[in-house]
A and B are shown apart, each in its own frame.
Chain A
Amino acid sequence: MTPVLPCRPVTVLAFAGDRSGPFAARVFADLRDGRSGRGPGPSALECLLLAGHAGVSTDAGAAIFGFNPDAGGLATWEVVYSLRNGDPFPGIVTDDTGVFTAARQHGLAVEAFDVLLPEPAFQFFVAALGNETLKSQYSYGFPDGDGDCNCVTWIERLGLPLLTGRMDEFLALPGRASYPSRRFGRCL
Chain B
Amino acid sequence: MTSEPAPRSATSHQLGMLAMRFRRTRDESARRAIAAEYAREVQRLIETGRWSEAPAFEDQLPDEWMPEAFFAYWCPDSSP
Contact = CB atoms under 8 A, between A and B. Distances in A.
A57 B75 CA distance: 36
A172 to B, nearest CB: 12
A51 B79 CA distance: 22
Contact of B75 (A28, A50, A52, A142): A28
Contacts of B16: 143
Nearest to A26: B75
A150 B71 contact: no
Contact of A17 (B13, B21, B56, B77): B56
Contacts of A144: 20-21, 23-24
A20 interface: yes
For chain B, give the interface size range: 20 to 34
Contacts of A25: 74-78
Contact of B57 (A32, A83, A86, A179): A83
Contacts of A26: 75
Interface string A164-188: 0000000000100011001100000
Given A36-B80, A142-B58, A31 B63 contact: yes
A83 B80 CA distance: 20
Contacts of A86: 22-24, 26
Contacts of B9: 174
Interface residues of A, number: 37
B56 A52 contact: yes
B78 A28 contact: yes
A107 to B, nearest CB: 15
A28 B61 contact: no
A24 interface: yes
A35 interface: yes
A29 B79 CA distance: 8
Given A19-B8, A20-B52, A32-B75, 5 more contacts: A21-B52, A25-B74, A84-B60, A143-B23, A178-B17
Which 9 A-B residue pairings sit nearest by Cβ, starting from the closest? A86-B23, A29-B78, A24-B54, A144-B20, A19-B54, A29-B75, A142-B58, A25-B75, A145-B23
Interface of A: 16-17, 19-21, 24-26, 28-29, 31-33, 35-36, 38, 47, 50-52, 80-81, 83-86, 142-146, 150, 174, 178-179, 182-183
